[in-house]
């Protein structure tokens, strides 16, 4: 499938083949599970503030529709490509299947830098993308959500554009919406809180006390910041954080309240005065108890995996660890890995709750949302840990096995049409 050629897609395929080998899956069965059901590439012309017209490229990949609609985020980032989005869509499939959600995976993206655009330009681009996607999306077809570079406001514009087209309000077309449009309580915090909840489970498993445990977070966006705040609430000390601008380190623990004020003002971690400046790469190599990569894919590689110094590697990002790094980490008994499709699943789980609430027009309290989230994450964690121990395989292989097997079974039992 040359159309998807990209290092991140190759990585997702490599992971898939590794698990398929472990499951002794015949070669003939693999392409149907591995390759996306369909992909869209669209040209998006918008009028810019300076009077010019600029054409952006948008993507959406729907990995499989075997179990229900596809589900996954929409990313605004200058380097988004079809192959990257296809890999992220595949991971969404395994993540949804692992947590028992009735979805296939999807992901979308627009190659743009929203930080260098005016809010009106971002709005026009979002609305034009939604318009181009109308034949391929719907509450029972494909449901988008926030990802890197997008937020609740972007989801509100998608919901509005789709609803204007239909002629009535369709809140269930997207998740991660503002509460006032049918969003769910707890959705914004869900991914980070899920990360922290699973870190607490992992800490329990390896006998690590979270009180005064040290934490380093690469990527201080929504996921990284909420993970850090929740872990700080458990008594942990956040000693290093970073974003694209760079990072800060403070051995005594960063004051997250003051960091939030700094971010409010300057929109970047760089320049925060209550810590020493460090680079993004240094954050990953900081000796700590819990390392949370919560930024881009392929950050932990064959080149640095041997030098990481943590007890728990909690993957808030999608695909932060390459297969070469995995090979090294699987030899390191000092590191317990919480793989991405488990660790960051809290977001899509609460997205599912939001979709269910929208379809029923019946809304839940935050306590109910959190209890149900913890229940699903606990079950997935127990299953993955059980598989990993019973079969002596890594946590990642164990998690992927559960996800891939569920989709495989569903495809087999549905059979081939016609
Ligand atoms: N973008 C998030 C993820 O990668 C959330 C997807 C969703 O809620 O649909 O898991």
Annotated domain spans of the chain: 2-172, 190-338
**115-136: average pLDDT:** 98
pTM of the complete model beyond 0.85: yes
* Residue 339 Cβ < 6 Å to ligand 1: no
- The answer to whether residues 295 and 320 touch, using CB atoms and an 8 Å cutoff, is yes
Question: Is-same-fold flag (2-172; 190-338)?
Answer: yes
Q: Is 326 helix (H, G, I), strand (E, B) or coil?
A: helix
- The answer to whether residues 90 and 73 touch, using CB atoms and an 8 Å cutoff, is no
**pLDDT above 80: residue 326:** yes
Segment 344-380, tens digit of pLDDT: 999 999 999 999 999 999 999 999 999 999 999 999 9
Report the CATH number of the 190-338 domain: 3.40.50.720
> In the CATH hierarchy, which top-level class contains the domain 2-172?
alpha beta
How many Cβ atoms sit within 10 Å of the Cβ of residue 88?
A: 28
How many Cβ atoms sit within 10 Å of the Cβ of residue 268?
A: 16
| CA 347 / ligand 1 centre spacing (Å) | 6
* Residue 318 Cβ < 6 Å to ligand 1: yes
Beta-carbon-side half-sphere exposure of residue 222 (alpha carbons within 13 Å): 18
* Residue 145 Cβ < 6 Å to ligand 1: yes
* Residue 105 Cβ < 6 Å to ligand 1: no
What residue owns the CA closest to ligand 1's atom 8? 348
pLDDT classification of 1: cutoffs 50, 70, 90: confident
Average pLDDT over the chain reads 97
**pLDDT above 90: residue 234:** yes
Q: How far apart are CA 23 and CA 211, in angstroms?
A: 39
State the sign of the Cα–Cα–Cα–Cα dihedral 111, 114, 117, 121.
positive
Q: How far apart are CA 276 and CA 59, in angstroms?
A: 39
Segment 155-206, tens digit of pLDDT: 999 999 999 999 999 999 999 999 999 999 999 999 999 999 999 999 999 9
Q: How far apart are CA 303 and CA 242, in angstroms?
A: 20
Residue 88 CA: nearest ligand 1 atom is 4
Give CA separation, 48 vs 42, 122, 128, in Å. 18, 10, 13
Nearest Cα to 358, choosing from 165, 176, 152, 153? 176
| CA 287 / ligand 1 centre spacing (Å) | 29
**238-261: average pLDDT:** 97
Q: How far apart are CA 223 and CA 246, in angstroms?
A: 17
* Residue 109 Cβ < 6 Å to ligand 1: no
Residue 367 has what pLDDT?
98
What residues are annotated to the active site?
A: 107
| CA 126 / ligand 1 centre spacing (Å) | 17
Residue of 351, 354, 399 with the most ligand 1 atoms within 8 Å of its CB, for mutation: 351
* Residue 175 Cβ < 6 Å to ligand 1: yes
């Amino acid at each position: 499938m040359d159309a998807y050629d990209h290092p991140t897609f190759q990585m997702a395929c490599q992971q898939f083949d590794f698990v398929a080998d472990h499951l002794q899956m015949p070669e003939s069965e693999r392409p149907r599970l591995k390759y996306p059901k369909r992909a869209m590439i669209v040209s998006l012309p918008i009028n810019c503030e300076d009077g010019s017209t600029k054409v952006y490229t948008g993507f959406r990949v729907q990995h499989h529709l075997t179990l229900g609609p596809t589900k996954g985020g929409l990313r605004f980032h200058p380097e988004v490509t079809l192959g990257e989005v296809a890999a992220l869509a595949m991971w969404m499939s395994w993540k949804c299947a692992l947590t028992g959600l009735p979805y296939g995976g999807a992901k979308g993206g627009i190659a743009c830098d929203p930080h260098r655009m005016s809010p009106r330009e971002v709005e026009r681009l979002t609305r034009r993308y939604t318009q181009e996607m109308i034949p391929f999306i719907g509450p029972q077809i494909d449901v988008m959500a926030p990802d890197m570079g997008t937020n609740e406001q972007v989801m509100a514009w998608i919901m509005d554009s789709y609803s204007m087209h239909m002629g009535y309000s369709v809140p269930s077309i997207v998740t991660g919406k503002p509460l006032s449009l049918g969003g769910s309580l707890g959705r914004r915090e869900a991914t980070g809180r899920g990360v922290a909840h699973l870190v607490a489970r992992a800490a329990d498993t390896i006998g690590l006390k979270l009180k005064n445990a040290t934490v380093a977070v690469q990527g201080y966006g929504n996921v990284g910041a909420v993970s850090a705040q929740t872990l700080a609430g458990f008594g942990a000390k956040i000693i290093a954080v970073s974003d694209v601008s760079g990072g800060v380190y403070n051995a005594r623990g960063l004051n997250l309240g003051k960091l939030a004020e700094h971010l409010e003002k300057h929109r970047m971690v760089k320049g925060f005065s209550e810590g020493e400046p460090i680079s993004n790469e240094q954050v990953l190599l900081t000796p700590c108890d819990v390392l949370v990569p919560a930024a881009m894919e392929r950050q932990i590689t064959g080149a640095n995996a041997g030098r990481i110094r943590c007890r728990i590697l909690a993957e808030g990002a999608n695909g932060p660890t390459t297969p070469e790094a995995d090979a090294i980490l699987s030899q390191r008994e000092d590191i317990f890995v919480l793989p991405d499709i488990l660790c960051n699943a809290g977001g899509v789980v609460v997205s599912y709750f939001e979709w269910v609430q929208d379809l029923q027009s019946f809304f839940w309290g935050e306590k109910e949302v959190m209890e149900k989230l913890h229940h699903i994450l606990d079950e997935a964690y127990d299953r993955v840990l059980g598989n990993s121990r019973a079969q002596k395989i890594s946590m990642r292989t164990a998690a992927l096995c559960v996800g891939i097997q569920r989709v495989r079974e569903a495809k087999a039992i549905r059979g081939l049409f016609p």
